[in-house]
Amino acid sequence: MAAAASRTVSPALLDVLGAQNARLAPSPARERNLALLAQPGTVAVVTGQQMGLFLGPLYTLYKAASAIVTARALQEETGRPCVPVFWLQTEDHDLPEIDHCVIPRPGGGPCRLALELPDAATSRAPIAHRHLGPSVLPALAALRAELEAEPHAAQFLSLLERAYRPDATLAGAFTEVLSSLFAEEGLLFLDPRDARLAPLAAPVHRFALQEAGPLSSALAARAEALTRAGYTVQVHIRPGSPLSFFSPDALDGPRYRLDPAHEGAWSLVGHPDNGTLSQDALHAALEHEPLRFTTSALLRPLLQDTWLPTAAYVGGPGELAYFAQLAPLYAHAGRPMPLAIPRARFRVLDDRTRRWLGKLELRPDDVVGVPRDTLLTQLATRGAPEALETPEALEARLFGAFSAELERVAGPVTALDANLQDAVRRTQGTVRVAVSRLTGRYRRALARRDATAAEQVDRLRTFLFPEDAPQERVLGLPYFACRVGARAFTQQVLDACVPFSGDSKDLTP
């Protein structure tokens, strides 16, 4: 904390931050936080996320709320001014991760709304330069068709329609909506993909380029140590490769990793021309066109903490896992690492979901992570007559009885003729297959036994465990904002956040 408080924000960065945030919805709290950030001794709590369509998964909201609550807690505990900053990850290029939004459909499976971007799978250009295009209009129309009957749909859908215009960028629309939700809290937004900021990023990229060999060796050793300790390494380390991407063709063009080619030269990994660049050429680009350089996942935190007096970073489980890899990078750069704080994790149980759970006499944990057929079987056999067995019990009883009888007669039979031993084994295998097939059909019959229960289970799984994943990683905000109210839901999330705790909680709006 003291190390962060000793750093000041450069006037150039403050000017750009002021200009970027001035484009957003008016917010006196944001103005106060900008003024605080300009004062010596102020620290920041930083979080960030990719620019998902219609804000992407729910955990985007949870991250922003966690950063706000953490900043408040640090300020109360230390007495130092502390402001929350949302780092817009506009340098990333992975469009398939962000070009869609999923909402629950009470009468069926999840509804996936997506932009039609033909080059989404192959594009390598930073998303800062991607416009939404005309396909956002049918996505908005589909969203309105699904949600317009909800009590608070008009206000939130109007906000989305104002922001998500065909001529808007993914980043611009995302920021407009998220800043509106947190205008009262004064959440600041920083877009690093700004020509005015590129010269400020150049020293970090120069460091990554000049120290590529020692850094990759130190990071590889760290990764090996983590692996030996039983941890899964999140980011692969390329031997001798710097932690920067480079765009050789245009400032807004595709970006490529750099690999050492030969003494004083670098190859562009994946570039169609398989070209190489000299060290001098890269340094010249850093001097004259620094916007050609973008950060990797491991270099981005160092850039954040070079620009900002970061006391803490709020991240999800994956991010905090790769923060464990960063110690050698920070040590080599001579910078202290910020606190790594887990974001809040929530599971939303709205009135419909609580009603369905009540009808089936289930708890949320009975649904999450449980395969559909298993859950239906449990419901079908719960409280049933003794004759109605579980599939596992039926298989064990049938094959167990056969195996016991076969074992009893196998000895005398094989004593009569040793060649019969293979026949006994084949018979045992054939019966096992037949019993397994019968058990499978029995399992499916149980699953179909109660069509109403099956429908309710599907609704619950769509809501609590969509696409076989946690709710917060799949479902987007629009359903909840339209049903509960955008500000009401946001306030509930803020109120439920516990500083410095990543514990999972249920929200019941």
| DSSP per-residue letters across 400-423 | HHHHHHHHHHHHHHHHH-TTHHHH
191, 194, 200, 201: CA torsion to nearest 10? 70
| Vertex 57: Cα angle to 162 and 185 (nearest 5) | 65
Question: Is 295 in contact with 245 (CB distance < 8 Å)?
Answer: yes
- Residue 441 banded pLDDT, cuts 50, 70, 90: confident
Domains of the chain, residue spans: 369-469
Question: 22 or 456: which carries more pLDDT confidence?
Answer: 22
User: Strand order of the sheet with strand 310-315?
Assistant: 188-190, 82-88, 43-49, 310-315, 339-342
* Per-residue pLDDT at 146: 95
Question: 63 or 504: which carries more pLDDT confidence?
Answer: 63
- Residue 419 banded pLDDT, cuts 50, 70, 90: low
| Section 282-287 average pLDDT | 94
Range with the poorest average pLDDT among 286-300, 365-379, 470-484: 365-379
pLDDT surpassing 60 at residue 310: yes
- Residue 217 banded pLDDT, cuts 50, 70, 90: very high
Mean pLDDT over each residue of the chain, to the nearest integer:
91
The closest alpha carbon to 324, from 310, 337, 308, belongs to 337
pLDDT surpassing 70 at residue 274: yes
- Residue 387 banded pLDDT, cuts 50, 70, 90: low
The two three-digit tokens of residue 184, written as one number: 């009262």
Question: Is 285 in contact with 324 (CB distance < 8 Å)?
Answer: no
- Residue 438 banded pLDDT, cuts 50, 70, 90: confident
- Residue 394 banded pLDDT, cuts 50, 70, 90: confident
* Per-residue pLDDT at 383: 63
Cα distance between residue 61 and residue 59, in whole Å = 5
The string of DSSP codes covering 342-364 is: EPPEEEE--HHHHHHHHHHT--H
pLDDT surpassing 60 at residue 413: no
The dihedrals phi and psi of 29, each to the nearest 5 degrees, come to -65, -35
| Section 171-193 average pLDDT | 98
* Per-residue pLDDT at 134: 97
CA–CA distance from 280 to each of 180, 210, 264, 287 (Å)? 45, 11, 8, 11
Predicted structure pTM score: 0.87
Cα distance between residue 246 and residue 252, in whole Å = 11
pLDDT surpassing 70 at residue 385: no
- Residue 436 banded pLDDT, cuts 50, 70, 90: confident
| Section 194-212 average pLDDT | 96
Cα distance between residue 144 and residue 166, in whole Å = 17
| Section 148-156 average pLDDT | 96
* Per-residue pLDDT at 454: 81
- Residue 395 banded pLDDT, cuts 50, 70, 90: confident
pLDDT surpassing 90 at residue 25: no
Range with the poorest average pLDDT among 149-153, 204-208, 421-425, 427-431: 421-425
Cα distance between residue 492 and residue 470, in whole Å = 19
Cα distance between residue 245 and residue 486, in whole Å = 37
Range with the poorest average pLDDT among 5-19, 235-249, 372-386: 372-386
pLDDT surpassing 90 at residue 326: yes
- Residue 449 banded pLDDT, cuts 50, 70, 90: low
Cα distance between residue 215 and residue 397, in whole Å = 61
Question: Is 460 in contact with 356 (CB distance < 8 Å)?
Answer: yes
Largest CA distance in the chain: 97
Q: Is the dihedral angle over the CA atoms 65, 297, 50, 9 positive or is it negative? A: positive
Q: What percent of the chain has pLDDT over 70?
A: 94
Range with the poorest average pLDDT among 245-254, 316-325, 468-477: 316-325
